[in-house]
Amino acid sequence: MAASENVIHITDANFDNQVLKSSQPFLLDLSAEWCQPCKALAPVIEELATEYTGKVRFGNLDVDHNPRVPNQFQVRSMPTLLLFSGGNVIGQLIGAHPRQRIVDLIAKGL
């Protein structure tokens, strides 16, 4: 899953500064290259990132190359979406979900 203009590439190294210290809610997509549901979810995340520009930040983390963050939050399944606000997880979705479920998750942070 490639990062884009609206979806930031998150790593173990930049996680604290980009996600935990974000002044806006942050939706983190934890995924893996081999994960087909992750690939199906990526365009939806991209679309929502564009739609919520200025309100919510979005990022993608490859769990195979960045094991610290998934271990820290006990992520065992891909894809997992974690919604952060004020440095805390305030919502989570595990697996591929319809767009509306993700919108409902994002609403918790607004």
Radius of gyration in angstroms for the set of CA atoms belonging to the chain, rounded to a whole number: 12
Quote the Cα angle for 38-40-46, to 5°: 90
Return the pLDDT at 3.
58
Amino acid at 92: Q
In degrees, rounded to 5, the angle at the alpha carbon of residue 15 between the alpha carbons of residues 65 and 95 is: 65
Catalytic option among 7, 38, 56, 82: 38
Note the pLDDT tens digit of each residue in 23-55. Answer: 999 999 999 999 999 999 999 999 999 999 999
Whether 75 sits among the annotated catalytic residues: the reply is no
Based on the residue annotation, tell me whether 58 is a catalytic residue of this protein: no
Q: Which of 10, 28, 30, 35 is catalytic?
A: 35
The residue-averaged pLDDT of 56-78 equals 97
Q: Is residue 8 within 8 Å of residue 22, measured between CB atoms? A: no
pLDDT, averaged across the chain: 95
3-state SS assignment for residue 22 = coil
Q: Model confidence over 79-99: pLDDT tens digits?
A: 999 999 999 999 999 999 999
7-107: CATH number = 3.40.30.10
